[in-house]
Amino acid sequence: MSRLFGTDGVRGLANGLLTAELAMQLAQAAAVVLGHERSTDGKRPRAVVARDPRASGEFLAAAVEAGLSSSGIDVYDAGVLPTPAAAYLVADLDADFGVMLSASHNPAPDNGIKFFARGGQKLPDDVEDAIEAQLGKEPQRPVGADVGRIQRFSDAEDRYIVHLLGTLPKRLEGLKVVLDCAHGAASGCSPQVFKDAGADVVVIGAEPDGLNINEGVGSTHLGPLKEAVVKHGADLGVAHDGDADRCLAVDHEGNEVDGDQIMAILALALKDAGKLKDNILVATVMSNLGLKIALRDAGIAIRETGVGDRYVLEAMRDGGYNLGGEQSGHVIFSDFATTGDGVLTGLQLAAQVALTGRSLKDLSSAMTKLPQLMINVKGVDKARAATDEGVAEAVAAAELELGETGRVLLRPSGTEALVRVMVEAADMETAERVCKGLAAVVKERLGAPSEMAV
């Protein structure tokens, strides 16, 4: 049987894979694995539950809370909040664990359940496996005064906003900021915290109805934000995804500023302030080579990980580093958060514009993005793609040709029968020629059609 937990919890079509029954069973299993220790004063274990505004989140959250409380867990219902807010509140409340219901940037019919351990930390694989192994076993069934109670976590959003404001190196008076909240979990708190920080705020994508999350807006659809920034003469724009654990930005001219550029700006700022631990940034293998070149020239090294924010987090924890993230906009400040936080990232980015008096376009020019092209070669034997001698020889020849001004990455997909061929080069013509050549070798050696994706 395939593993139920993916790279970010249990995710799937609500009422398809992810039913109310499964949600309750997962909660009951988590109660055994994560809520087994009572405090010394005999009080019941506590869990924070939050969700994004998807319609299915209403019945799934109810099922989770029923599963937890019937297993002897006191539930603090935080309502609609970003994923990083749920993680923060687990730590702030000193709860035993937390549950977040969201499918992040996926469309509204999908949903997901992820768990946070004590302190708001993501669960390691072995703990997820323990929860999955508990499914189907007899749940805890306390009676009388030992059943859990459910209460509204009435000041959850206020606690999170106060925390975010406390991270700012400078207030945002004088800045006009457009926020795109993706009709998602940040629709309430992100505009409020930017206003409280002193910014002049224009808001789009902040009218969630349970069905419109991520629909044509947010970090996966930057067009509306670009138009709004130019129309309103804003200094910058910030885009979240549905659960606000990521942030992409737009400068005053409407140009996209991606996660790599955001990390470059923030890494340089932390280094200048003497606050970048060991002068190291943690990033994945998919980050643009231009990031590595720009930071190398500034005396900052990059610690590379596999793709996925959980691997970035692991490397940060192992090395004690305090800044990391992904090109997609998951940026992690371990001094202030245990996971990627799009609202926090947007605030820190805006604060650098306020602090330096420089435009976001000027700040992002610290990094020159190298042209990058990716081709998905489908239907291949992924294991053979990693060991085939002909493919390896072609990669070596491409790397020799590109030298220090480019790179090659062949990465088997974690979910599909395909290999991603990615090439960066000094110019797009070279990137396209080398990438197509390598994709052709993979196709010839492993017999697969190819589909290009930039």
Q: Which residues are catalytic?
A: 104
Give the bridge partners for 418, in sequence order.
378
Give the bridge partners for 151, in sequence order.
76
37-75: string of b/e by CB count within 10 Å (b at 16+)? eeeeeeebbbbbbbbbbbbbbeebbbbbbbbbbbbbbbb
16 neighbors 121 (Cβ within 8 angstroms)? no
| 3-state DSSP of the chain | CCCCCECCEEEEEECCCECHHHHHHHHHHHHHHHCCCCCCCCCCCEEEEEECCCCHHHHHHHHHHHHHHCCCCEEEEEEECCHHHHHHHHHHHCCCEEEEECCCCCCCCEEEEEEEEHHHEECCHHHHHHHHHHCCCCCCCCCHHHCCCEEECCCHHHHHHHHHHCCCCCCCCCCEEEEECCCCCCCCHHHHHHHHCCCEEEEECCCCCCCCCCCCCCCCCCHHHHHHHHHHCCCEEEEECCCCCCEEEEECCCCEECHHHHHHHHHHHHHHCCCCHHHEEEEECCCCHHHHHHHHHCCCEEEEECCCHHHHHHHHHHHCCCEEECCCCCEEECCCCCCCCHHHHHHHHHHHHHHHCCCHHHHHCCCCCCCEEEEEEECCCHHHHHHCHHHHHHHHHHHHHHHHHCEEEEEECCCCCEEEEEEECCCHHHHHHHHHHHHHHHHHHHCCCEEEEC
Give the bridge partners for 48, in sequence order.
76, 98
